[in-house]
Amino acid sequence: MQTEQLPSQIKAVWTYSALISGGVGLLISVALWLTHVYLNWWFWLPLAAVGLSLLDVIVELAVIPYRYAFSRYRITETAVYVRTGVFFKHEIAVPINRIQNVTLAAGPLLQFKQLREVAVDTAATRYSINGVTVPVAERLRDQILQLAREARDDA
Amino acid sequence: MTHKHLAWPALFVFVARAVRQLVSLVLVILVFFSWRSLTGEAAFWGFLAAGVVVVATIVAAVIRYVRFTYAVTPAGITINRGLFERKVVHIPYAKIQTVQRQQWFFLRPFGLERLTIETAGKTDDEPEGELPVVPVTVGQQIDRYRRAPTNPTVATDQPTTTTARPGERQFQINRHDLRLYALTSMGIVPILLAFFWLYDKLTTIFSDEVVDDALKHLNVIQIGWQIALMVAVLVLSLLTSYLTIIQRYYRFTLTKKRSTLTMARGYFQRSRVSVDQQRIQAVHFKQTLIRQWARLVTAQVLTADQAGKSESDHNLVLLPVLRRSAMVPTVSGFIDWLPDRLPTIKRVRSAARWLFIRNCVLVWLGALLVAGGFIWWQLPKGLPIYLASWLLWLPLAVAQGNYAARQTGVALATPAVVCVQHGAWFSREQYLIPRRCVQSLEINQSVWMARRDLVHLTLEVRAGNDNKSVEARFIDSKTARQIRDWYLPQDAPEYQTA
């Protein structure tokens, strides 16, 4: 049986988020440049900041196709599976009867692309599926809650 | 139902807590006063204000006491409290994880004790229910209600297997083992650190001149006396650590009554914690290196509440000291789901052993380099000696990695219980986790590990208000997948690795 891939819009969300984090890095660099000009702080600080932010953006953008290819999820009658990671691969399995609650969330970027993040909580930890389309998210939530109701056991 | 007030000594508890909150404020005010020279008039108003605050605090504590009422009914425990914001807490018996009863020696003649009731709720750092000073009969009443077979919710929570072995079972640790345990404890380290901290504080509080003067005097004293002083400090720390542990675990008794386990311990403060064995999330056996030589083990239990917060690993102590050979038979007599003996655990492959050693050496090298940089900067003369000491540290790192590799493994103990073992800092840790308490399972693999077909297996378990990740690193992917197949619901279609 096949695992499901995230919707392709998620790549756009990751691109924007990489660009935004790069922008924040550049703003910090500008602030550091100003400290150099007015407060006589070290000259290499803003340069290092620019370098690091550019490197961050390049790596994040370069990794997107791989991240997209390796991020998978699947929900069966009894369990939720999440797979993530490019260099460090994580395979997570959560039986439905261990799930305590389900949260659908969307930040501005996800909302813009009509996507939702699905988070499931167990008594111990929280796992999330990065971004799925709204109908899929709601179907998943209903499915998990329905199954959790049926498979209820003591926590 | 009648709401009762706490026993009168609770008033002192409330006042003491309020005063403790005030201490920092008072210190700030004192520092402020000593910093600025004040006129007589300002000092008068300042002290008046401080007096008003103190009186207000005490009055508030009294009101808190008057407002605090509780009721123990067949339906549950109700606590009313709060000064401005009134709180009413209801705890049904079926949701109680642990009940702790702590009795200081000076309250024993009055038959009073402190009761704390913990549930699995995660919201607060405080216990869900706390009765600071109540008669012991309240705790006995709660115990009766918790065990009551007539309580329908309790009855459904307990599988029938627990009633198979009725009656009571008791285990008390013997004095000889407790002494050995206290001697092998690492408690001396924090006490020595406390001494150093004290020394550091003294040097910052007193001016340099005073310290220099004292040091001059010290120089005058013979070297022999200095050594004697150091030995005295060492002996004193050892003795303190030893007595603290003996006091803490004095007459440690584990009792099983039907399905409830009760751990009683302590000399000055007798503490009794009771937990239903079905609420135990995992059993944890731990042996430090010294205790491996002495063949002693500590058994702890992981629960979904904060009752073990003050313990060393934040876990409840089931039995502080046990002979290694008697470990599993003893504990399985108290916890029904525990197997009679541990499974044989297959050691990791030699490729994995190399990875353990490599990682350990890398971590040590990182720390050694940082320390080396610091020494180079501060004490360049000491650098050759420091570099020579690497001959000691690096073999230690290799030994540590090798030890971790030898201890790591995972195997099924029974069809319902998994055993995960690992070693860190030369201490051996074993976790026995029932399948129903494994909240989720992770298999992690870096691309470099894929070549060797090795993975990290992580089981997530609820412990305290948080999670405990129990990990077996660099194990065969086949073993990990077997554990996952065991863990996942039987009717689940096989999860394919695409």
**Four-point Cα dihedral B132, B138, B143, B144, nearest 10:** -170
* pLDDT recorded at residue B209: 64
* pLDDT recorded at residue B379: 81
* Sheet with B409-414, side-by-side order of all strands: B316-323, B296-302, B282-287, B427-434, B417-424, B409-414
**What is the rounded distance in angstroms from the CA atom of residue B318 to the CA atom of residue B265?**
11
Taking the CA of residue B101 and the nearest CA in chain A, the distance in Å comes to: 24
| A123/B488 Cβ within 8 A | no
Tokens representing A85 are 């990671």
**What is the rounded distance in angstroms from the CA atom of residue B129 to the CA atom of residue B135?**
16
Q: Which residues of B touch A123 (CB under 8 A)?
A: 120, 304, 439, 462
Q: Which helix (H) or strand (E) holds B286?
A: strand B282-287
* Cβ atoms B241, B191 nearer than 8 A: yes
**What is the rounded distance in angstroms from the CA atom of residue B130 to the CA atom of residue B79?**
8
**What is the rounded distance in angstroms from the CA atom of residue B261 to the CA atom of residue B165?**
13
Strand partners for B260: B257, B276
Regions of chain B where pLDDT drops below 70: 1, 33-39, 122-124, 149-167, 186-223, 312, 490-498
Q: Which residues of B touch A150 (CB under 8 A)?
A: none
Residue range A19-47: mean pLDDT, rounded: 88
* pLDDT recorded at residue B498: 33
Q: Which residues of B touch A92 (CB under 8 A)?
A: 440-442
Topology adopted by domain A73-150: PH-domain like (2.30.29)
| A125/B495 Cβ within 8 A | no
In tens, the pLDDT along B288-312 reads 888 888 888 999 999 888 777 777 6
Contacts of A110 (CB under 8 A, 6+ apart): A13, A116, A117, A131
| A127/B468 Cβ within 8 A | no
3-class secondary structure, B489: coil
Smallest Cβ–Cβ distance between B439 and the set A2, A85, A123 belongs to A123
**What is the rounded distance in angstroms from the CA atom of residue A106 to the CA atom of residue B427?**
44
Put simply, whether B489 touches A (Cβ < 8 Å) is: yes
**What is the rounded distance in angstroms from the CA atom of residue B330 to the CA atom of residue B491?**
36
3-class secondary structure, B448: helix
Q: Tally the C-alpha atoms within 13 A of residue B400's C-alpha that lie toward its C-beta.
A: 18
| A91/B492 Cβ within 8 A | no
Q: Which residues of A touch B487 (CB under 8 A)?
A: 93, 95
Contacts of B121 (CB under 8 A, 6+ apart): B128
Q: Which residues of A touch B466 (CB under 8 A)?
A: 124
| A124/B440 Cβ within 8 A | yes
Best of A89, A101, A128, A150 to substitute, by most chain B Cβ atoms within 10 angstroms, is A89
DSSP string, B410-444: EEEEETTEEEEEEEETTEEEEEEEEGGGEEEEEEE
Contacts of B148 (CB under 8 A, 6+ apart): B74, B93, B154
Compare B82 and A2 and report the one with higher pLDDT: B82
Q: Rg of the Cα trace of chain B?
A: 28
In this predicted complex, what is the ipTM? 0.81
In tens, the pLDDT along B389-407 reads 888 889 999 999 999 999 9
* pLDDT recorded at residue B215: 65
**What is the rounded distance in angstroms from the CA atom of residue B150 to the CA atom of residue B35?**
67
| A124/B468 Cβ within 8 A | yes
Confidence class for position A91, pLDDT limits 50, 70, 90: very high
SS3 string of A12-51? HHHHHHHHHHHHHHHHHHHHHHHHHHHHCCCCHHHHHHHH
Smallest Cβ–Cβ distance between A154 and the set B157, B446, B497 belongs to B157
A89 has a pLDDT exceeding 60: yes
* Cβ atoms B264, B271 nearer than 8 A: yes
| Binding-face residues of B in 103-122 toward A, CB within 8 A | 120
3-class secondary structure, B206: coil
Confidence class for position A145, pLDDT limits 50, 70, 90: confident
Smallest Cβ–Cβ distance between B491 and the set A2, A78, A122 belongs to A78
Q: Which residues of B touch A88 (CB under 8 A)?
A: 444-446
**Four-point Cα dihedral B326, B332, B333, B334, nearest 10:** 120
Tokens representing B106 are 């000076």
List Cα–Cα distances, B317 to A32, B169, B265, B320, B330, in angstroms: 52, 18, 10, 6, 14
* pLDDT recorded at residue B155: 39
* pLDDT recorded at residue B307: 77
Q: Which residues of A touch B484 (CB under 8 A)?
A: 93
**What is the rounded distance in angstroms from the CA atom of residue A70 to the CA atom of residue B443?**
15
Place of tokens 């660009």: A19
SS3 string of chain A? CCCEECCCHHHHHHHHHHHHHHHHHHHHHHHHHHHHHHHCCCCHHHHHHHHHHHHHHHHHHHHHHHHHHHCEEEECCCEEEEEECCCEEEEEEEEHHHEEEEEEECCHHHHHCCEEEEEEEECCCEEEEEEEEHHHHHHHHHHHHHHHHHCCCCC
* pLDDT recorded at residue A100: 83
Closest alpha carbon within chain A to B491: A78
CB pairs under 8 A between A and B: 90
Strand partners for B323: B296
Smallest Cβ–Cβ distance between B467 and the set A72, A76, A125 belongs to A125
In tens, the pLDDT along A48-64 reads 999 999 999 999 999 89
| B487/A87 Cβ within 8 A | no
* pLDDT recorded at residue B201: 64
Taking the CA of residue A126 and the nearest CA in chain B, the distance in Å comes to: 10
| A2/B489 Cβ within 8 A | no
> B229, B236, B131: which is closest to B187 by C-alpha?
B236
Tokens representing B35 are 């910093």
List Cα–Cα distances, B302 to B117, B312, B338, B469, in angstroms: 16, 13, 14, 12
Best of B97, B276, B280, B440 to substitute, by most chain A Cβ atoms within 10 angstroms, is B440
Closest alpha carbon within chain B to A95: B488
Best of A82, A98, A147, A152 to substitute, by most chain B Cβ atoms within 10 angstroms, is A98
* pLDDT recorded at residue B474: 92
